[in-house]
Chains A and B, each alone.
Chain A
């Protein structure tokens, strides 16, 4: 689905279920750095057929959304709040990595727009390895390889994907490689320079769900703890053993179930 925000074309996948004539609550799924809507392919269509209008968006200059890429988590979260304004209703947010920081910031700073948040692969800070930033800035394929390598738990490096025939690491790498030139570097800088995560967490008053991989090397499990501790609203924490940063790809079934339960009860 395409729609227009601030005069720019925005694209999102809706699980092939149109929004017309539906009043179900909207769940916006926000991808991470250098990725796009398709990281949620195992969740979007499911939510769309289970009582929600699912909208896995392409952030500006990602997937099929018009650029330029936004350069800070605050800008991204303002943009997300605009989506709520566009539809004239509160929205549920699900975010991964950079998308998780975006959802967190939006929930802390645009309270009237957000019904609930679910965060995957998140930390109170997201430092980026300087060599990764450098490779991303240089549009070097090594950046995609590093993220793919760090992004999947040891077990999931070998796969055994519940989606028959698909390679988890192969999919992640091809997706990052498809990112428009320059965009991954902008994304990573937005992540590493964001310092308001704990403050945003303290402000949150909607229900929040954490889906965390115990082998996450991009945002280690312990980096999520300061956020969890700072949150005073209703919180649910689900730890995924043997799972890395790409939780929704590595454990699609459980993530689907947990997300549905969370948005349904919020």
Chain B
């Protein structure tokens, strides 16, 4: 039997989007620390500005170092293209701003990153875009919340912080039946654990800041364009299917077909809103992506050790991680995530809020900070930090109780991680 031959995932994590620079032989991706690019001729410059030809003009729109990261992420996700942004939040905003207009509506999972929730619940309404939040475990709820003016379905592949596992296929079926694209935030899963496009998602968003970058050194985001959504058949996305005066009346679906969204997001969104990724950050993040497969495998392995520690621990009330049989999505997780469901978990400390505080203040190796997906183990008490702007009711809706501790399991020796958590748990009970 003949089989298609593609470079495999681990190889593409190292090579996609780049081969050694022909003029210098540089093996590593060079940092093109430049704002702008010399034109060959007036005609070439005009062609670039007019989207007749391809190349770089100005680093707000594209940059060769950033472009390597974009192509690499597109390749790892199986998409047609990617646009990198200054942060994960900028990526989410770029997706929304490229596709939606005033008066449009989003149906989103209620178990999402606090910042994304605030954006949709409080900030976007100022621009006339509203959101209905639903239970990500119930595809029917998504279906019921869809209105004539709905333009986007949004959820996290692995929710925040309960690690709700999205049934991507079921929710994408709901979205597609309504002529809508499904955008997923796949930050917690990374392309190593799942390729949402294969399951029916249309746009993949990442905070590259997290596991993709992997070392907690640079902020960045991306949207990956799956290229499978039929914008024209849907008829709901004039930014892609109608002439755009900003570029001599180009119609993005007409000229670029499957890559319409990527092209418009860059030509309009990056250019006009300007939330571009810097070349130096792209370089740092690329170093992370190179070892993504090795790191994620170890993150997942270490997470199992932590779960074993917490499971049945005297100071632990409950554990939330899809690999634990008590998790409501345990079976779905096994089906969708054969390599594991990542390295973020939450648990409840016996003794509630006070014990939680004591725990956080007692860890010595784990770092108390507002991030996930670092090589180092991180802990946080979301109720008093990431999600503190949310009302008690919104907190409950988002599945966050006062005793909840979130752990992002790092790459230290698992015995040291577990030892640290164990000691802090004991201290929390004193």
**Could you list which residues of chain A lie within 8 angstroms of chain B, going by C-beta atoms?**
13, 15-16, 36-38, 41-42, 44-46, 48-49, 63-64, 129, 131-132, 142, 145-146, 148-150, 155, 157-167, 169-171, 174-175, 177-178, 252-253, 256
Contact = CB atoms under 8 A, between A and B. Distances in A.
Contacts of A45: 50-52, 250, 255
A159 B54 CA distance: 14
Contact of A15 (B2, B52, B82, B258): B52
A149 B4 CA distance: 5
6 contacts: A36-B257, A46-B52, A131-B1, A162-B54, A164-B66, A165-B70
Q: Is the interface of A mostly helix, strand, loop or mixed?
A: helix
Contact of B78 (A159, A166, A170): A170
Nearest to A129: B2
A48 B61 CA distance: 24
A171 B53 contact: no
B90 to A, nearest CB: 15
B255 A15 contact: yes
Given A45-B51, A161-B17, A170-B74, 17 more contacts: A13-B254, A41-B257, A131-B2, A149-B5, A149-B6, A160-B18, A164-B62, A164-B63, A169-B6, A171-B80, A174-B79, A174-B228, A174-B258, A175-B257, A175-B258, A253-B54, A253-B55
Q: Give the one of B17, B63, B227 with max A CB within 10 A.
A: B227
B270 to A, nearest CB: 10
Contacts of B71: 159-161, 165-167
The 4 A-B pairs at the shortest CB distance, nearest first, are namely A38-B257, A174-B227, A164-B62, A149-B4
A181 to B, nearest CB: 14
A143 B36 CA distance: 41
Contact of A177 (B1, B55, B228): B228
Nearest to B57: A164
B2 A165 contact: no
A82 to B, nearest CB: 22
Contacts of A178: 228, 230, 257-258
A174 B257 CA distance: 9
A46 B12 contact: no
A145 to B, nearest CB: 4
Given A15-B255, A159-B17, A170-B79, A49 B47 contact: yes
A265 B70 CA distance: 38
B397 to A, nearest CB: 36
Q: Give the one of B62, B243, B249, B256 with max A CB within 10 A.
A: B256
A178 B259 CA distance: 12
Contacts of A162: 54-55
Interface of B: 1-2, 4-7, 12, 15-19, 46-47, 50-56, 61-64, 66-68, 70-71, 74-75, 78-84, 226-228, 230, 232, 243, 247-251, 254-259, 262, 266
Q: Give the one of A41, A142, A167, A171 with max B CB within 10 A.
A: A167
A166 to B, nearest CB: 4
B17 A158 contact: yes
Contacts of B61: 164
A161 B19 CA distance: 11
Given A158-B15, A161-B71, A164-B70, A256 B6 contact: no
Contacts of A37: 257
Nearest to B260: A38
Contact of A160 (B19, B51, B80, B247): B19
Contacts of A131: 1-2
A38 B81 contact: no
A42 B255 CA distance: 9
Nearest to B18: A160
Contacts of B64: 164
Nearest to B249: A16
A63 B230 CA distance: 11
A125 B15 CA distance: 35
A165 B262 contact: yes
Contact of A16 (B1, B84, B254): B254
A170 B227 contact: yes
Contacts of A48: 52
B268 to A, nearest CB: 14
Contact of B74 (A146, A155, A165, A253): A165
A251 B230 CA distance: 27
A149 B7 CA distance: 10
A166 B19 CA distance: 16
A261 B306 CA distance: 65
A160 B20 CA distance: 10
A164 B67 contact: yes
Contact of B82 (A16, A163, A165): A165
Q: Give the one of A16, A175, A252 with max B CB within 10 A.
A: A16
Nearest to B56: A164
A146 B4 contact: yes
A42 B53 contact: yes
Contacts of A44: 255
Nearest to A168: B71
Nearest to B1: A131
Nearest to B255: A41
B2 A146 contact: yes
Contacts of B54: 42, 161-164, 252-253
Contacts of B75: 158-159, 167, 169-170
Contacts of A169: 6, 75
Q: Give the one of B46, B79, B230, B259 with max A CB within 10 A.
A: B259
Nearest to B78: A170
B255 A16 contact: yes
B242 to A, nearest CB: 11
Contacts of A149: 4-6
A38 B256 contact: yes
A196 B172 CA distance: 47
Given A38-B256, A45-B250, A170-B74, A142 B4 contact: yes
Nearest to B227: A174
Contacts of A150: 4
Given A159-B75, A174-B80, A38 B47 contact: no
Contacts of B50: 45, 49
